[in-house]
Amino acid sequence: MLYHIANHRGTDSVRSFLEYDDDKIKENTLTAKIAKETKKVIDAKKYRTFGEYLYKGKIEKFQQNIRKKVSNRKTPANKNKEFAVTRDVIIKETEKILASQKQYYTYILTDEYIKKIKDAISYQTEKLIPESGYCPYFKDEKRLPRSHKLNEYRRMYEALNNAKYFDPVLDENTGEILSYQEKEFSREEKKILFDEVLLKGMELTESGAKKLLYHLPDGCEVQLQGRDKTTQKIKGYALVDLEASPFWLRLSQQQQDEFLYDWNSLPLEKLKPKLTNYYSLTESEVDETFQEIKLPSNYASVGKKAMEILLTYIKDGCSYTEALEKAVSEGKLKVDKQTMIYDSLPYYGKILKESTQKLIGKAFSKQFADRNYKEPDTNKNEREFGKIANPVVHQTLNELRKLINEIITVFGKKPLEIGLETTRELKKSKKNREYLSKQQNKNEYARNRIYKEYIEPHLSQIKSRQENPSKYISKFELLEEQNFICPFCSEKITPDDIINSKVDVEHIFPIEESEDITKNNLVIAHNECNADKGKKSPFDAFGDKTSGKYRWNCILHNAQKNLPHKVWRFYQGSLEKFLENKPMSRRFGTDNSYISKIAARYLACLFNDPYHSEIFCIKSSLIAQLRIAWDLNSIMVPLVKNILSEKELEEFKISKNKKIRIDNRHHALDAIVIAYANRGYHNFLNRIHAKEYKINYREKSWLSKILLPPLNRDLEDFKISVKDSIEKANVSIKHDHNTNGSLVKATAYKVYYSGAGEYIITTSKNVEEISFKEKEDPKDTLYRALCKFECRDIDIKDEKLIKKLKYNSTLYKKVQNNLSKAKQELEQDNKKTEEEGKKSQKITEVRIYKKACSLVKGQYIQCGSRLKDKFFAVKEPTEIKTGLGYDTGDNLFLDLYYDKTGKLCGEIIRKVNFNRNKPNYQKEGYTLFERIYQSDILEVDTSEDRISLKNKTGSAPSDRTFIKVNTFTEVNAYFDGKRDKIQIFFGNLLKSSFKNDSFFISSMQKYNVRKVILTSLGIIKYRSQILKNKEV
């Protein structure tokens, strides 16, 4: 009993000294409310202990001798937590149990022993409490708690200052959107949003802003927080609940400030008595405070006096950094003058002291100074000066320092001027950027088709309503996706229904609960159907309907047929499962304007100018305009064609004004434009914007004729010089040798024994999910999915798996038998479509097979095989028992070594195996020759036979090129003892995305491969020996 209590002892409160994301805050708030209700029930029913509450309230109602598990975990069957318990309730229960037991075991349960038990059960790790530090401008004043009213006002006003809306500029004749004019909210508009929403503690959303500011132009787009659609909310005032508490009004202003410092800094055992003794809170008010009040933790970067000064500027529309600069220049804030002008950039924390925070950890805290915690291996500059908490900004400034310092070293002097443009996709990984680029091209083609097919015929009608035509594109995308059928009533939706506003977009999972604003959560449905669904999931709204307008069987069938990738959202319990594993919110979203501003302040230490006039930030729109005006995109076309394979050339579409991103040298082109993009061009474009000229910025226009090349150079001569620079440009990447990351992949597989020296893994899938490709024979695809393991009867010993594989074969036959019926149904669908005056769809073999799968339904077992050395088995399978395992996570590196014959061999070290004492080759007595990480650069001979080796790259020596290693893997021959049969996949460093080329350790030697490390400027700073067999 005591052991069980120790495992479920709760916590003192849900208060934390560290920042939590929104999901964690919501969870804590809910837990606090449930704990409060649980306490009320215990008191009202006079239960002596929490255990008695559980027994009488949850267990006693079941029949005797029937075991029933009482779970408080949120599941589809148990939608809400029913109870929660705080530590004080558990401690009282422990005391009562021990007091009762002591009567019978006095010789064991001595007072000393009871104290040990209570201490063990009540033990909790001491929380780390961040230190406030002192204001950099008023040195005797502590930094303000982030929960302070002034800091909350700063946060909300600064968010409003960053918010903007985009007014569409329409062609007067066609109604087509030429561009969007960016506008900021006026002081009066910001005051309305602040007073009516934020100050009342409510979140401000895009739709909320449009509703309050009803005078905004139709079709305008509101952008509250950067470009990311998932973060378009501004949090409301955090002190609403606290300021509404009766005790708060009894406190003086000084006590209110002290309360917030104490809340941030005192552990519970000190805070509770102080709330009672110093702030005169009653016992119920103390309990209420801990259960109800949720405040931002940590501290602002300045103290109260400085914040009051800065807030006056921020309310006038300044950003925090602009307010700081104005306050300093006007003498309201005094700073230690930066008398030192640096010859190279020091660590950014030395310059941006007010923007950094100390490293957080028990080893760095005065609170634990006498505990002898070992300091982790951290950068000495970060230990001394702290770091910016946002990892994107931290990494950006560090990379900027390396680049600028290398430029200074190479040229022997500092630059006279620095122009900054931060990339739009700075926050995304390389893989995500590559995917985004492909998706943008695909989406652009689809949008243009939809615009011509559905919107152009109704332009005059849309124009008469002064609406933005582009807002209809997403609706028609959804309509096509769901095959022109309403997902709820199963009736047809026509294009006219969209134009005439008879239908609208609906969230499958209610937005209030799911917060899922992705396209995967959207459908288009009749307005009446949307109203009837309300704020529920489809099953909760219609799951009990068997007749009438909404019939659940029809709804589910329609979703399976027309929305196969969204159908899971229609199943019973799907919303609850989604909420259990809700995607993590983006904690470190970064507005690029902030990076630009803070980078400019950092770079200013190189110059003797308090106004940073040598540094200017350039908008992407200006760079794009100059590229078009100077016809620089055309320079990249022949360069790109030279690095593409024949197949890629077929797919390569040239758009005269579209930026070409597949060649990494497009960054060099941007850098050249930035170098020439002086303030004259910038100011000119701003004047054009201010006069509200209607310009299509995606095309060459009259504006392009005015934006002449620098110094009025001849355009063709200028382009030739730019092309020459681009061809010679160095390319470099950031090397990633990070050992962090997932050890194994997320999917857990059932693992079956195989006599062939490998594992057989399985997962269950719906037969409708089989992916058919137009360029493949669908019969082969179906056979591969269902019957691939049919000939493996000898290897497979598990009877259950054999039975499942036989059922796969039965499904295969069923699909084949339904092909003619599937074709008939598709023909009938086409006939109905044509009768309605719509265009029918071509019936292909792939469509027939897909339809047949949807008719058959059912689940099949998807099988795969894994080599034992490339799979992580948590539980080993036997001939009679299944196991459990995961695919291994990322490869970490490839170690090359010589065997006893002098042959170059290799061993792949995966992250899951990284911490073992020795790799296998070292256990065999061999030593490391060279280590290659994923994303490392290799220098190889150029070759006309391979497109990836054809072109010289940047600083590579003559007749040599650079390739980037993507990954590596063992082939079957490796496990038969041929240790040079590791396949290395790579692509040329010039290309931003590519289909992998590859060679083996054995075959790469004809290219005289060396590993190289490049500097930030792409200069070789390390070159290995040639990676080849020893000459005997």
pLDDT in tens, 344-366: 999 999 998 878 887 777 777 77
- pLDDT of 953 reads 84
How would residue 697 be classed by pLDDT, with cut points 50, 70 and 90? low
Same domain assignment for residues 7 and 64 = yes
How would residue 179 be classed by pLDDT, with cut points 50, 70 and 90? low
The residues that bridge with 574 in the sheet, in sequence order, are none
Which of 374, 391, 418 finishes a domain?
A: 418
Angle between helices 253-265 and 268-277 (to 10 degrees): 160
- pLDDT of 428 reads 46
- pLDDT of 426 reads 43
- Neighbouring C-beta atoms of residue 201, cutoff 10 Å: 15
What confidence tens digit (pLDDT) does each residue in 884-897 have?
Answer: 887 776 678 899 99
- pLDDT of 383 reads 86
How would residue 339 be classed by pLDDT, with cut points 50, 70 and 90? low
Whole-angstrom distance, CA of residue 187 vs CA of residue 393: 30
Same domain assignment for residues 110 and 203 = no
Q: Higher confidence at residue 445 or residue 821?
A: 821
pLDDT of 410 above 90: yes
Report CA dihedral (1025, 1027, 1028, 1032) to the nearest 10 degrees.
30
- pLDDT of 62 reads 56
Whole-angstrom distance, CA of residue 846 vs CA of residue 900: 55
pLDDT of 230 above 60: no
Phi, psi of 506 (to 5 degrees): -130, 145
Where are the alpha helices (H) located in 482-518, listed in sequence order?
495-499, 511-514
Q: Does 327 map to a domain? A: no
Q: Does 603 map to a domain? A: no
Whole-angstrom distance, CA of residue 821 vs CA of residue 97: 71
Q: What is the DSSP letter of 694?
A: -
Whole-angstrom distance, CA of residue 326 vs CA of residue 610: 11
Q: What is the DSSP letter of 425?
A: T
Same domain assignment for residues 689 and 789 = no
How would residue 398 be classed by pLDDT, with cut points 50, 70 and 90? very high
Cβ atoms of 177 and 469 closer than 8 Å: yes
Whole-angstrom distance, CA of residue 312 vs CA of residue 322: 12
Same domain assignment for residues 405 and 442 = no
Whole-angstrom distance, CA of residue 158 vs CA of residue 180: 23
The angle formed by the CA atoms of residues 978, 981 and 984, to the nearest 5 degrees, is 160
Q: Higher confidence at residue 285 or residue 511?
A: 285
What confidence tens digit (pLDDT) does each residue in 67-98 have?
Answer: 555 555 554 444 456 777 777 788 888 888 88
Look at residue 171 and give its three-state secondary structure. coil
Burial 296-333 (b: 16+ CB within 10 A, else e): bbbbbbbbbbbbebbbebbbebbbbbbbbbbbeeeebb
The angle formed by the CA atoms of residues 389, 394 and 398, to the nearest 5 degrees, is 155
What's the one-letter identity of residue 304?
Answer: K
| Stretch (H or E) spanning 747 | strand 744-752
Q: Could you give the number of structural domains in the chain? A: 7
Whole-angstrom distance, CA of residue 931 vs CA of residue 924: 18
Same domain assignment for residues 282 and 364 = no
Look at residue 187 and give its three-state secondary structure. helix
Q: Does 529 map to a domain? A: yes
Q: What is the DSSP letter of 59?
A: I
Mean pLDDT of 687-699: 61
pLDDT of 587 above 50: no
Which of 851, 885, 919 finishes a domain?
A: 885
How would residue 512 be classed by pLDDT, with cut points 50, 70 and 90? confident
What is the Cα Rg of the chain in Å?
33
From the centroid of its chain, how far is CA 32?
Answer: 29
Four-residue CA torsion sign, 174, 175, 180, 181: positive
What confidence tens digit (pLDDT) does each residue in 557-577 have?
Answer: 888 888 988 888 898 778 877
- pLDDT of 546 reads 74
| Stretch (H or E) spanning 675 | helix 666-676
Same domain assignment for residues 99 and 229 = no
Residues classed as catalytic:
507
How would residue 425 be classed by pLDDT, with cut points 50, 70 and 90? very low
Say what the pTM is.
0.62
Cβ atoms of 942 and 952 closer than 8 Å: yes
Which of 393, 418, 443 finishes a domain?
A: 418
Cβ atoms of 35 and 113 closer than 8 Å: no
- Neighbouring C-beta atoms of residue 662, cutoff 10 Å: 19
Same domain assignment for residues 475 and 494 = yes
Whole-angstrom distance, CA of residue 34 vs CA of residue 974: 58
- pLDDT of 876 reads 82
- Neighbouring C-beta atoms of residue 838, cutoff 10 Å: 14
pLDDT of 379 above 70: yes
List Cα–Cα distances, 505 to 461, 467, 471, 770, in angstroms. 20, 17, 11, 29
What confidence tens digit (pLDDT) does each residue in 921-962 have?
Answer: 999 999 999 999 988 999 999 998 888 898 888 889 999 999
Q: Higher confidence at residue 441 or residue 305?
A: 305
- pLDDT of 267 reads 79
Same domain assignment for residues 110 and 40 = yes
Whole-angstrom distance, CA of residue 132 vs CA of residue 145: 8
How would residue 438 be classed by pLDDT, with cut points 50, 70 and 90? low
Report CA dihedral (323, 328, 331, 333) to the nearest 10 degrees.
80
Q: Higher confidence at residue 758 or residue 837?
A: 758
Same domain assignment for residues 793 and 859 = yes
Q: Higher confidence at residue 986 or residue 433?
A: 986
Same domain assignment for residues 308 and 176 = yes
The region that residue 114 occupies, defined by phi over 0 for left and psi between -120 and 50 for alpha, beta otherwise, is: alpha
Q: Does 800 map to a domain? A: yes
What confidence tens digit (pLDDT) does each residue in 860-887 have?
Answer: 888 877 777 667 777 888 877 888 887 7
Four-residue CA torsion sign, 401, 406, 407, 413: positive
Q: Does 322 map to a domain? A: no
Which are the contacts of 627, defined by CB distance < 8 A and separation ≥ 6?
633, 659, 669, 670, 673
| Stretch (H or E) spanning 391 | helix 391-411
The residues that bridge with 524 in the sheet, in sequence order, are 505
The residues that bridge with 506 in the sheet, in sequence order, are 523
Q: Does 739 map to a domain? A: no
- pLDDT of 478 reads 92
Helices and strands counted in the chain (H then E): 40, 23
- pLDDT of 816 reads 93
Percent of residues in the chain assigned helix, strand, coil, to nearest 5: 45, 15, 40
- pLDDT of 776 reads 84
Whole-angstrom distance, CA of residue 376 vs CA of residue 379: 9
Same domain assignment for residues 297 and 350 = no
- pLDDT of 638 reads 86
* Domain limits for position 110: 2-122
How would residue 588 be classed by pLDDT, with cut points 50, 70 and 90? very low
Angle between helices 283-292 and 268-277 (to 10 degrees): 130
Q: Does 964 map to a domain? A: yes
- pLDDT of 1004 reads 95
pLDDT of 795 above 80: no
Same domain assignment for residues 896 and 853 = no
Q: Does 141 map to a domain? A: no
Q: How many residues does the chain have?
A: 1032
